[in-house]
Amino acid sequence: MKITMETKLSEAVGARTANPLAKGLGLVTVGDLLRHYPRKYDQRGRLTNLSELEIGDRVTVMAKVVDSSHAYTQKGGKGGRGPALHRLTLTISDGRSRLKATFFNQIYLLRLLTVGTEALFSGRINTFNGALQLSGPTALPLGVDPEGKAEQIEEFAGLIPIYPLSEGLSLQTVQKTVKHVLEVIEDIPDPIPAQTRLARGLVGLDTALRDIHRPRSEADKARAETRLAYDEALAMQLVFAQRREESKQFPAEPCPPIPDGLLAIFDENLPFALTAGQREVGEAISADLSTLHPMNRLLQGEVGSGKTVVALRAMLQVIDGGRQAVLLAPTEVLAAQHARSLANILGPLARGGELGSLREATRVTLLTGSLGAAARKQALLDIASGQAGIVVGTHALLGKDVFFAELGLVVVDEQHRFGVEQRDALRKKHPKGNPPHVLVMTATPIPRTVAMTVYGDMETSTLRELPAGRSPIKTNVVPMGRQTWVERVWEVVREEVAKGRQTYVVCPRIGGDGPEVDEADPDGDPADLAELVGDKKRRPPLAVVDVAEHLRSGPLAGLRLAELTGRMLPAEKDAVMGAFGAGEVDVLVATTVIEVGVDVPNSTVMVVMDAHRFGLSQIHQLRGRIGRGSEAGICFLVHDASPTGAAGRRLDVAASTNDGFELARADLEFRREGDILGTTQAGRSTSLRKLSMIAHEDIIGWAREDAAQAVDTDPTLQRYPMLAALVRAMFDEEDRSFLEKG
C-alpha cells in the first residue's frame, strides 16, 4: 500500500507498535509521528583510536570483541524479591589497545556481539578497578560489505535523535518506528509553493522532515528547524489572516471625529499638553474608529505614560458617534479608581442627564460584583438605556443580565489579567451582532501578550515617552540572609517618612483567619519555589498580617501603618486608600491589590517581600506605584532564593532596567511565550514545537506576509488545499477556535 502523511500508523507499522504511540503520545497518523520532533540529539562523535582515549571523553570506537562473559546478579530489592539483573561484560580491541564495556539487561546482545564480531561502540570513558571502561555503552555490529560498513559508521557516529516519551514507551521504539516510516513513505508533498520556498530560502518539506529526524550534520538540522518553524508560523498566520477577512463580513459602526463634539470640548479644556506620543497614537486610534473594519489594537506603554488619557479620548470619539464605551478592569479597586478618575478628568462632561448639565455631557457608570441591589439595578438600567456613555467594571460586566444599548468600544486594562474567553464574551455584547472596536492596554507585555502582538492580528501602538514630572526609580535586590541589608531597608523607609514621604510594603499572601491565597504572579514559574533556602518543608509565603505586626512592633515602630488586601470590603479598601492618599498613613502593607491604578505621588519607597515569588511583569507593575511625583523612587526586592537560580537571575534583570519592553523580552527568554494557544490560560499543551518568538521573529514576519497574500487571493483557501491541510495538521478545531477569539 502507498504510505502518505495521512496514513494511519496502525496500517504503516502495525497495531502492536501504533497503539502505544497513539495512547501515550496521541500520534495517530504517519504525519503525527513525523511531526513529533526530537527534543534533543545525542552526538556520538567521530571514530576514536583506543590509544587516544581520555577519561571523561564521549567517544565512538570501532573494535572487535576479544572476550565475553555474562552473569545474573542476585535478585535485588528488599528481601531479594527484585528482578534479576543480567550483566554482559565485553573486552574489545582495535589490535593494539583494549577496553571493557558492560551492558545491563540487554541479553539479546549475547548472540549479536560474540567473540570475533566487529562493531561500533559508543559511550563515555571512565575507570573501574584501575582499567579503562566504556560507561553507558551502545553498540552496532558491522556487516562484511565494505560499502555497507561505511554507511553504518557514518550513521552510527552522527546525531542521534532523542524524543519526548510517555510512560511505557521506550526511546528505541520511537526511533525504530520513525526510521521505518521514513524508509517506506513516498516523497512528501510540499504545501508551500516552490516560488515561496525559493524566496524564503527554505528547504522542501520532505528534506526537512528527514533531516530533523536523521540529520547528517548540524547544518542540515538547522535548515530543517527553520523550515518547520516557518510551517508553524504560516499555519498560525493563516488562521489570523482568515479571521481578519471574516471580520469584514461583520463590520463595526464607524465613529469618525466630530468637530464640535464631546472629544473636541474635552481637548479644549484639557489642563495639560498631550505628549507627542499620545498625539500620534491618538491619531492612529481615531483613524481606526472611523472605519468599518473593527479596530483590534494593543496599546503598550510604560507605567505612567498616559495610556488612560489616550483610551478616554477614544471613548469620547465613540460616544460622539452615538455609541457606548466599556472599560474592563481586573480588580474592583482599579475599576472604582478608573471610574472616579474618568469622572474627575471629565468634570462637567461626566454629568449627563443631571439638571443643568451640558448638552454634550455623558455619564460614567460603575458596575462591580459588590454593588448593592439598588445600585446594581440602576447601573444596569443606565447601561441598557444608553444613558451611560462610559461603563467601567470588572468581570461583572460579563454577566448575562448586562445589556448594552449601542456598544461601540471595549477597552481592556491590563490585558494579561483576563482570559481569552472573558474578553470574547464582552466582544459579543452588542445586541445587533456588530463587533465593537477593541483597545487593549498593558504597561508590561507578558510573554503571551508579546507573542500575540507578533503572531496575531493586533495592530500595535507604543507610548515610550513619559509625561513631565515622572521621576526615576532605582531598584535594589536584597537577600534575606544578609541581615544588615534588610535592616538598612527599614532604615531607608524611616528616613523617607521623616522627609514626609510614604512607603508601600507588598506581600504575596494575606494571612490571618481567612483562606490562604498566594497573590503572587500566577504566571510565575512554580519551579522557582524549589530554590528557597531551607529543607523540603519550605516556609509559606510571607503574609500581610504577619509582616504588618512585625513592622509595628519592630523596625517601623511608631510609624503610622495600615493594611490593604483583597479580602477587605470595598468601603474598607476605599477608606484605607483615602487615608493613604491624604498622607494620614506612612506605610501601607498590602497584597498586589495595589499593583495597578493606585496613584499617590508622595510615595517614594516600594518594598516587595518574597520578591522571588513574583514575575517580572508584576514586579514592574508594583514599582510603577512609586516615583509618580517630583521625588525619585526606591524599590527593594527582598528575596529568599538562590542567586544563581532562575528566580534570582530574574530579580537581577528587574533591577538592571526600568524599560518594561526589555523586561518583557527577558521574561520570554526565561520562560518562553508558553503556548500561543493558551497553555496557561486554557490548560492545554503547546501546539508550537519549533517556533519561538525570540529566535524566529524574521520567520514570523515572512509567514505573516505570505499568509496575507494567500488569503487575499482566496479567503477560504479552496485554491490552496494543502495550505488548508497544513492548518488542520498543526491546530485542531479547539485550537483554531481559541485563536479566533483572540
Start-to-end C-alpha separation, the chain: 42
Same fold, 45-157 and 262-289+306-442: no
Per residue in 68-112, pLDDT (tens digit) is: 999 987 655 455 566 778 899 999 998 888 899 999 888 888 989
Distance CA 253, CA 289 (A): 8
The reported pLDDT for the residue numbered 301 is 82
Q: Alpha carbon of 349 to those of 81, 352, 389: distances in Å? A: 84, 7, 11
Mean pLDDT, rounded, for 320-333: 89
Give the phi and the psi of residue 134 in degrees, each rounded to 5. -95, 115
Per residue in 381-391, pLDDT (tens digit) is: 999 999 999 99
The reported pLDDT for the residue numbered 19 is 93
> In the structure, what pLDDT confidence band is assigned to residue 531 with cuts at 50, 70 and 90?
very low
Amino acid at 62: M
Q: In this structure, which CATH number among 3.40.50.300, 3.20.20.70, 3.20.20.140, 3.30.360.10 belongs to the domain 473-657?
A: 3.40.50.300
| Contact in structure between 335 and 366 (CB atoms under 8 Å) | yes
Distance CA 548, CA 588 (A): 9
262-289+306-442, what's its fold? Answer: Rossmann fold (3.40.50)
Which residue has better confidence, 456 or 238?
238
Residue 121 has pLDDT above 80, yes or no: yes
| Contact in structure between 288 and 297 (CB atoms under 8 Å) | yes
Residues found in the chain: 742
Amino acid at 135: S
Per residue in 273-285, pLDDT (tens digit) is: 898 999 999 999 9
Q: In this structure, which CATH number among 1.10.510.10, 3.30.2320.50, 3.40.50.1110, 2.40.50.140 belongs to the domain 45-157?
A: 2.40.50.140
> In the structure, what pLDDT confidence band is assigned to residue 48 with cuts at 50, 70 and 90?
confident
Per residue in 510-526, pLDDT (tens digit) is: 986 555 545 555 444 33
The reported pLDDT for the residue numbered 738 is 56
Residue 485 has pLDDT above 90, yes or no: yes
Mean pLDDT, rounded, for 545-555: 95
Distance CA 617, CA 303 (A): 11
Burial of residue 261, with CB atoms counted within 10 A of its CB: 0-12 exposed, 13-18 middle, 19 or more buried: middle
Distance CA 734, CA 687 (A): 11
pTM of the model: 0.70
Domain extent listing, the chain: 45-157, 262-289+306-442, 473-657
Q: What angle do CA 157, 135, 171 make, to 5 degrees?
A: 60
Residue 370 has pLDDT above 50, yes or no: yes
Rounded to a whole number of angstroms, the CA Rg of the chain reads: 32
Amino acid at 124: R
Which residue has better confidence, 649 or 227?
227
The reported pLDDT for the residue numbered 100 is 92
Residue 719 has pLDDT above 80, yes or no: yes
Residue 423 has pLDDT above 70, yes or no: no
Residue 192 has pLDDT above 70, yes or no: yes
Per residue in 160-190, pLDDT (tens digit) is: 888 988 887 888 889 999 999 999 998 899 9
